[in-house]
């Protein structure tokens, strides 16, 4: 008797976990694809500012995040520390290209020697525009 109740309970749980009998797996996949496409469209590089596009295509995301410290500081923290001036933009662009150590802790920032000065300036300009 206990075995029968256990088996019936397992079968009931299996049937209940199958979900809505009117939905299909294909419909769920299509809905998920549409949601993903919408998310991707909302974040397309064509809607980003030039510096933001460059950051999105570079390796910056490995160490930085817009709002939270990862390995390096968050972009908003950088913007809070440095006023947006031509002097700071040039200085920070040089830091992006040459790398640095000690400004935000003991871990060094990796140099990006293949990045042009103009691209680095666009990236820094976007970062400094995040000042609250």
Q: What is the pLDDT of residues 66-120, one digit of tens each?
A: 999 999 999 999 999 999 999 999 999 999 999 999 999 999 999 999 999 999 9
Instruction: Enter the pTM of the model.
Output: 0.64
Residue 67 belongs to a domain? yes
- CA within 13 Å, CB half, 101: 4
Residue 116: which domain range?
50-132
Q: Report yes or no on 128 lying in a domain.
A: yes
Q: Which residues does the annotation place in the binding site?
A: 60, 64, 109
Task: Tally the domains of the chain.
Answer: 1
Please check whether residue 2 lies inside any domain of the structure.
no
The answer to whether the CB of 132 falls within 8 A of the CB of 76 is: yes
The answer to whether residue 126 sits within a structural domain is yes
Q: The domain that contains 59 carries what CATH number? A: 1.10.760.10
Could you tell me which residues are annotated as the binding site for heme c?
60, 64, 109
Residue 4 belongs to a domain: no
């Amino acid at each position: 008797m206990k075995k029968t109740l256990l088996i019936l309970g397992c079968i009931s749980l299996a049937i209940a976990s199958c979900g809505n009998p009117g939905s299909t797996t294909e419909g769920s996949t299509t809905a998920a694809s549409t949601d993903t496409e919408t998310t991707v469209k909302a974040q397309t590089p064509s809607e980003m500012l030039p510096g933001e596009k460059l950051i999105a295509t570079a390796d910056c995301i490995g160490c930085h995040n817009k709002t939270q410290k990862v390995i390096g500081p968050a972009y908003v923290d950088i913007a809070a520390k440095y006023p947006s001036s031509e002097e700071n933009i040039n200085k920070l662009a040089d830091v992006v290209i040459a790398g640095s150590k000690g400004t935000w802790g003991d871990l060094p920032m990796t140099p990006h020697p293949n990045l042009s000065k103009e691209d680095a300036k666009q990236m820094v300009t976007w970062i400094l525009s995040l000042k609250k």
